[in-house]
Amino acid sequence: MSTYTEVLLAKRPEPGQIKAEVFDVVQKEIPSAGPGQILIKQTHMSMDPAMIGWMNPDPESYIPPVAIGEVMRSSGLAEVVESNHPDFAVGDKVRGMTGWAEYILTDGQGLSKVQPGLDPETLLSVFALPGLTATQGLYGFGEPKAGQTIVVSGAAGSVGSIVGQLAKADGLNVIGVAGSDEKCDWIKNELGFDAAINYKTDDIAAKLAEYAPKGIDIYFENTGGPVQDYVYEKMNAHGLIIVCGMIADYGKEIPSPGPNWIPVIKKRLRIQGFAMPDHFGDVPKLLEKLTPYVMQGKIKYRSHVLEGLESAVDGINLFFTGGNKGKLIIKL
């Protein structure tokens, strides 16, 4: 009997870093494809901060939580190893919501074939959730213009790094906020950001005054935390705040209080929260927007690859510590 590994959500996590006991690693017999089904073998799994939210039983979330006893949710790349489906052949490379599993039996719904010639790390780091999220967030809710100033938190992360590069390519003054000197050096000297702020060691207010003397027009929020208050105070009239993530609060029992709303009135600010599942129908349009930047060499990335499915159990905590350098990927 041949078996494979799945990782199930065994219990809801407590506030703080996620303990291994939250998951249940199980072995199952590899199934066979039935009529209209395909069996896929996952090769690369995407790790995303959104997973932390999916584990919590929030009835108001934009997507139902992962049920207890269910395979932990994730997206990934896979290869068809058995097919009884007219649209998929053995050897096809596919992507979609795969879950924390080495093999997945499916009817193919939600899966799409991968264009040949793109390596897995490029696909997951640029053309999957990070690139789509960055493109939707930056262009879907505003019209960034040359000469404007944008601040990106989590700027060395998979989404933030692409947001900053897109904005820079469009002629904006780009200020990135990250959590180490190494990350600040990378976004400034490798990705071309105009300035970088280490929120752990720099005087954030002083750095913003230096790098954004005329104020801030767009704030792309990926992390929350103290930087949020400093940027908020520097926003220009009619500025735009795009709220993509709040990793600083994901592990807290009680979220941090937000800034006072009086400046929203005085400065007529727009604040836009979003989640990508609302925009999956726009993926072709988003890729059409993103691809030319990539083809012109204006988008660089780096990936942080862990080996083996079970490495995801501890690897998810890298989002809390900032220990990942680039897009976090599990290679199966």
Place 59 in a pLDDT band, splitting at 50, 70 and 90. confident
Strands 3-9 and 23-29: antiparallel
Render pLDDT for 243-267 as a digit per residue (tens, 0 to 9): 998 887 777 778 788 888 999 999 9
Place 183 in a pLDDT band, splitting at 50, 70 and 90. very high
Q: Give the pLDDT of residue 254.
A: 80
Residue 1 has pLDDT above 70, yes or no: no
Render pLDDT for 93-105 as a digit per residue (tens, 0 to 9): 999 999 999 999 9
Q: 195 vs 225, which has greater pLDDT?
A: 195
Q: 29 vs 225, which has greater pLDDT?
A: 29
Q: What's the rounded Cα separation, in Å, for the pair 37 and 183?
A: 44
If you search the block for the tokens 């954004």, which residue do you land on? 212
- Cα 88 to Cα 35, 39, 107, 116, 198, distances in angstroms: 13, 10, 10, 15, 47
Distance of CA 176 to the CA centre of its chain: 16
Q: What's the rounded Cα separation, in Å, for the pair 49 and 316?
A: 8
Q: What's the rounded Cα separation, in Å, for the pair 90 and 226?
A: 50
Render pLDDT for 114-137 as a digit per residue (tens, 0 to 9): 977 789 999 999 999 999 999 999
Q: Give the pLDDT of residue 19.
A: 94
Based on the number of CB atoms within 10 Å of its own CB, is 227 exposed (0-12), middle (13-18) or buried (19 or more)? buried
Render pLDDT for 197-224 as a digit per residue (tens, 0 to 9): 999 999 999 999 999 999 999 999 999 8
Is residue 227 a contact partner of residue 199, using CB atoms and an 8 Å limit?
yes
Mean pLDDT, residues 141-150 taken together: 96
Residue 227 has pLDDT above 80, yes or no: yes
DSSP string, 157-188: SHHHHHHHHHHHHTT-EEEEEESSHHHHHIII
Render pLDDT for 281-322 as a digit per residue (tens, 0 to 9): 898 999 999 999 999 999 999 999 999 999 999 999 999 888
Q: Give the pLDDT of residue 253.
A: 73
pTM comes to 0.90
The alpha helices in the chain, defined as continuous H runs, are 50-54, 120-122, 129-140, 158-169, 181-185, 204-211, 227-234, 247-250, 262-266, 283-295, 311-315, 318-321
Place 57 in a pLDDT band, splitting at 50, 70 and 90. confident
